[in-house]
Amino acid sequence: MITFYNERHGQHHGKAEMFRGELVPCFEVPSRVERVLAELRGRRLGAIEAPQAFDEAVLERVHARPYLQFLRGAWEEWVALNAGNAQRDALPSVWPVRGHRSDVVPQNFAARMGLFSYDAGTPLTAGTWDAAREGAWCALSAAGRVLGGARAAFALTRPPGHHAGHDFFGGYCFINNAALAAQALRDGGVERVAIVDIDYHHGNGTQTLYYDRADMFYASLHGDPLTEYPFFLGHADETGVGEGLGCNLNLPLPRGTGFPAWHGALGQALRAIADHGAGALVVSLGVDTFEGDPISGFRLRQDDYLRIGEALASAGLPTVFVFEGGYAVSEVGINTVNVLEGFEQ
Ligand code: Q9C
Ligand code: ZN
């Protein structure tokens, strides 16, 4: 399987995120992707290439123009606020809620950080835009390869993407790589695309982007939002709206879920995808379902990821894999490449 690797991922390097009242070192670190890259090379899984470049206008297939413009210039604005800010990441701290205005874009930088985000755990750093944009090119390159006839391709990038929506960042995500890949498959002629999101966290960004569409089927297995991030979306009764009714499947699972129950839910998601008649599959490939993950609560083990790959392959669809979460750094490479290897066997 070909991998499109984001060589610029390290330009996004957050120092700290807000956690239980204090700033703690970021969980979403560059070494995550370095581990996956090393494992891919070690197991000779296939060619590893740089992505093509695209016109930035393609990002507007998924994201709002004012949001993209904000992200593009945010670091320079932050630094201009005062010289000392160049040493610190930008984190949002104020947000509009129910009954507030979100149709007026404030001039104040902190206010715009809040308008375009939904948590304080997602630092924006000097190279965030460059890294995220290059990651989008990885996802689009992978989709292009699959459109060209490849059985599968992998976008190896960070920051991740599935929490990013039309006009918001959060959950360590800025540009929704999986959503872009899915739209590229549609634009390349695939009539119905399925996204299966196996990250521990519900992909609230992806769900909201495609909630009213019949041409995008979104299925997600994730920690129950009653107790797990992102909390405010991901319940089983969210089934889509309008033309998209019936095209959203959430399978929340309790903290502590092990592989037998998880694997059963994956089977349910894949049957729904087959019933939908999808012609291509995008996998939001997070491995924060691992038993050793420091911020998650499922109990999957290393070998389980081989079986996940086999199950995904059994769908029989051209498949784009997009890297998402997974924070147990010393095992993230093994677990991720196990999925890809299981898929190829
Ligand atoms: N400080 C992805 O896996 N914060 N995002 C959790 C730990 C947000 C995870 C609390 C977790 C986001 C792509
Ligand atoms: Zn996650």
C-alpha pair distances (Å), 225 with each of 11, 114, 200, 207, 216: 31, 22, 11, 14, 22
- Tell me the angle at which helices 329-344 and 304-313 cross, rounded to the nearest 10 degrees: 40
Q: Which residues contact 119 (CB under 8 A, 6 or more apart)?
A: 92, 170, 171, 230
Are 109 and 78 in contact by the 8 Å Cβ rule? The answer is yes
In the predicted model, what is the mean pLDDT of the chain? 97
Helix (H, G, I), strand (E, B) or coil at 204: helix
Centroid of ligand 1 to alpha carbon of 172 (angstroms): 7
Q: What is the CATH number of the domain that holds 161?
A: 3.40.800.20
Q: How many independent structural domains does the chain possess?
A: 1
Domain annotation covers residue 249: yes
pLDDT band at 156 (very low <50, low <70, confident <90, very high): very high
Q: How far is CA 308 from CA 33, 190, 274, 326, 340, in A?
A: 20, 24, 17, 15, 9
Whether residue 254 has pLDDT greater than 80: yes
- For the record, the structure tokens of 327 come out as 């924070």
Residue at 159 is within a domain:
yes
Instruction: Please check whether residue 64 lies inside any domain of the structure.
Output: no
**What confidence score (pLDDT) does residue 147 get?**
98
Q: How confident is the model at residue 115 (pLDDT cuts 50, 70, 90)?
A: very high
pLDDT at 226 over 90: yes
In tens, the pLDDT along 275-302 reads: 999 999 999 999 999 999 999 999 999 9
CA-to-CA distance for 323 and 197, rounded, in angstroms? 10
Q: Is 163 one of the annotated active-site residues of the chain? A: yes
Assigned domain for 6 exists: yes
The answer to whether residue 216 sits within a structural domain is yes
83 confidence band (pLDDT: 50, 70, 90)? confident
Measured by CA distance, the residue closest to atom 5 of ligand 1 is 171
Phi-psi region of 81 (alpha: psi -120 to 50; beta: other; left: phi over 0): alpha
pLDDT beyond 80 at 86: no
- Domain of residue 154: give its range: 2-52+127-344
Inform me whether the pLDDT recorded for 85 exceeds 80.
no
Task: Say how far apart CA 56 and CA 159 lie, in whole Å.
Answer: 17
* Mean pLDDT to the nearest integer, 226-238: 98
Residue 135 lies in a domain: yes
Whether residue 101 lies inside any domain: the answer is no
Among candidate residues 163, 202, 222, 276, the one labeled active-site is: 163
Q: Is residue 262 part of a domain?
A: yes
Read off the pLDDT band of 23 (50, 70, 90). Answer: confident
Those residues whose beta carbon sits under 5 angstroms from the ion ligand 2 are 199-201, 286, 288, 325
